[in-house]
Structure 1
Amino acid sequence: MSAAPATPGRPRDPDVDRRIARAALEVFGDAGWAGFAMETVARRAGVGKASLYLRWSTKEALLTDALVNGLPRISDVDTGTIHGDLVELATQMLGLYAGGFSRAALRLALEAGAIPGVGEHYEAMRREQIRAARAIVRRGIARGELPGTASVTMLLDTLTGGAMMHALSSPPDRRAALANDTAGHARRLVDFLLHAVTAPVGSGA
């Protein structure tokens, strides 16, 4: 579901669009779907409610547009090595759950299925993310960087789950530092994981 076309003769203001999208994600993160209202979003964005209805006919359309265009996406990045690819994946996960819209991302995972129109977009996005992550591991196996017996599912569950839990469990006073150094923690996480996956059996790793 996309934003409604702008009224003829009244071009869209990108700055207003960004403010509204940010406000929508903040309201959804703070209050969930039960507390999500056009009036609340308009007040937080500092615009009139009519400005929202000129762009989106329903609050479902507004939230869908904000989620699709405002949340960081998890995508496949081919750096040429499994280490580089996994670091990019972990960095994206940390950015999603340690960044400014982490609460909205978590709410989405919990509530998407109950929100008309949003659930379908979330499922499509989730499938796209899974395909991207699995492609990374399969490339590593094909290049001989990972053993052929490596479990794609277990490796990705450990990596993405570890990144997500680290972001969510970081104390509030350390969240900003993590958000500013997602790549650093991602490298440490990938180093640890790849050592465990590639260490010879019986090495005591």
Structure 2
Amino acid sequence: MARPRDPELEQRLLVTAWALLTEHGYDALTLTQVAAQANAHRTDVYRRWSSKVRLVADVLDEFLPPVPDCDTGSLHGDLSAFVEDLAMAWDQPWNDGLIGFLADLRRDDEAERTFRSLVARRSQPLVDAIARAVRRGEIGEVPELALVGNLLEGPLMHRRMFGGQPLSPQELEVVTWSVHSLLTGTAVTP
């Protein structure tokens, strides 16, 4: 008969992994290091997560704060609030190792499902903003939501992963207005 899992130990391991991830990044994180820092055995970690990518997917699922759903009363305001929150998330140092995490993620279906679920939850405020814009008559049809999310987050991700820098507030406005213009069919300059 297998021993039941200790939820307190599991939470301690997750908290430790989050601390190590945010302090040192994905590339430096090891399961052995998590066990040592959490005053646990290596087998405690490996029994729960067979790989670093699975652990980090669960850690991100547990600790990344949700994107707030700000109803500002306008599509532009909602897009701007969403982009600002994404910008804060992309400005975190642990994102520097995200390329390694994403590469590892492609080789692990379970970790990828966990991560995709997280992405869907974090995208819900955008889905809600688009639905509100349709109800208010700001846009006539529901666009391909994944593409809208990619258009908003892509520049932030690219700048962080390849340039190591965040976008400036002015650049964030250009991104927001560009997507707003695409959705509404209006030419608006920031």
Structure 1 residues 168 and 58, CA gap change in structure 2 (3 angstroms): same
Paired with 1:87 and 1:191, the residues of 2 have a C-alpha distance of 8
How many Å apart are 1:194 and its aligned residue?
2.4
| Structure 1 gap segments, 5+ residues each | none
Matched, 1:138 2:131: yes
Contact 1:4 1:54 in 2 (8 A): no
Percent identity between matched residues is: 16
Contact 1:4 1:55 in 2 (8 A): no
Structure 1 residues 192 and 124, CA gap change in structure 2 (3 angstroms): closer
Matched residue, 1:30: 27
TM-score w.r.t. structure 2 length?
0.66
TM-score w.r.t. structure 1 length?
0.63
- 1:39-97 CA-to-partner distances (Å, cap 9, x unmatched) read 13345xx45443x7668843347434422123344454333321221112212322333
Question: Which of 139, 142, 151 does residue 143 from structure 2 map onto?
Answer: 151
Matched, 1:5 2:2: no
Matched, 1:58 2:48: yes
How many Å apart are 1:102 and its aligned residue?
0.9
What is the 5 A alignment of 1:22-171? 22-24=19-21, 29-30=26-27, 37-42=30-35, 46-50=37-41, 57-60=47-50, 62-74=55-67, 76-115=69-108, 117-146=110-139, 148=140, 151-153=143-145, 154-171=147-164
What is the one-letter code of the residue matched to 1:151? P
Count of paired positions: 181
| Structure 2 gap segments, 5+ residues each | none
Paired with 1:62 and 1:195, the residues of 2 have a C-alpha distance of 40
Structure 1 residues 100 and 200, CA gap change in structure 2 (3 angstroms): closer
Paired with 1:150 and 1:117, the residues of 2 have a C-alpha distance of 31
What is the one-letter code of the residue matched to 1:168? M
Contact 1:73 1:92 in 2 (8 A): no
How many Å apart are 1:143 and its aligned residue?
0.9
**What is the Cα-based RMSD across aligned positions, in Å?**
4.0
Structure 1 residues 140 and 108, CA gap change in structure 2 (3 angstroms): farther
Structure 1 residues 142 and 152, CA gap change in structure 2 (3 angstroms): farther
